C-alpha cells in the first residue's frame, strides 16, 4: 500500500484514539467487511480508494449484512466530483469527508453521528 494511504490512515487512527475512541483498521476491502462483522463497530469510515474493493462496494456489502443498516458509514475521499453524492447515497453512506481531513472536523462528524444512535 502506498505511503500516503498509510499516513492518512495513521492520522485518522491517531485523531480518533486521542479522542477516546477504540479503532479497528483494515487495509483492504475484504478485510473491512470481515473486521466489521467480527467487531460490530458503532461507526465505519471508508476510504473510497482501497485495494481490491472500493469504498462504494464495501458500503453496499456492509448494508446487506444483518445489523449494519443503521450503523453510520462515512466516506473519505480526496475530492468530491459532482456525481459522487448520488453514488454515495446509493451505496448507503451516511456522511462524507474530504481529505485532507481537519482533526476538528473529523471529531465533530464522528461525535455527531454517534450521538444520533
Q: What is the pLDDT of residues 52-111, one digit of tens each?
A: 888 999 999 999 999 999 999 999 988 877 557 888 899 999 999 988 889 999 999 999
- Which of 117, 113, 115, 106 is closest to 13 using CA atoms? 106
pTM: 0.87
Sign of CA dihedral 26, 31, 33, 39: negative
Domain residue limits, the chain: 3-115
Burial class (CB in 10 A: 0-12, 13-18, 19+), 99: middle
| pLDDT score recorded for residue 27 | 81
Neighbours of 71 (CB within 10 A): 19
Give pLDDT tens digits for 8-57: 888 999 999 999 999 998 888 888 999 999 999 999 999 888 878 889 99
From the candidate CATH numbers 3.90.1150.10, 1.10.10.10, 3.40.50.2300, 3.40.50.720, the one assigned to the domain spanning 3-115: 3.40.50.2300
Amino acid at each position: 500500500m502506498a505511503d500516503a494511504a498509510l499516513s492518512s490512515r495513521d492520522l485518522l487512527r491517531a485523531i480518533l484514539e486521542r479522542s477516546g475512541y477504540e479503532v479497528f483498521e483494515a487495509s483492504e476491502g475484504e478485510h473491512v467487511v470481515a473486521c466489521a462483522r467480527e467487531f460490530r463497530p458503532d461507526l465505519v469510515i471508508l476510504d473510497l480508494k482501497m485495494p481490491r474493493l472500493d469504498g462504494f462496494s464495501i458500503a453496499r456489502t456492509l448494508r446487506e449484512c444483518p445489523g449494519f443498516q443503521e450503523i453510520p458509514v462515512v466516506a473519505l475521499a480526496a475530492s468530491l466530483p459532482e456525481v459522487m453524492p448520488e453514488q454515495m447515497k446509493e451505496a448507503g453512506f451516511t456522511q462524507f469527508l474530504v481529505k485532507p481531513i481537519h482533526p476538528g472536523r473529523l471529531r465533530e462528524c464522528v461525535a455527531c453521528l454517534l450521538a444520533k444512535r
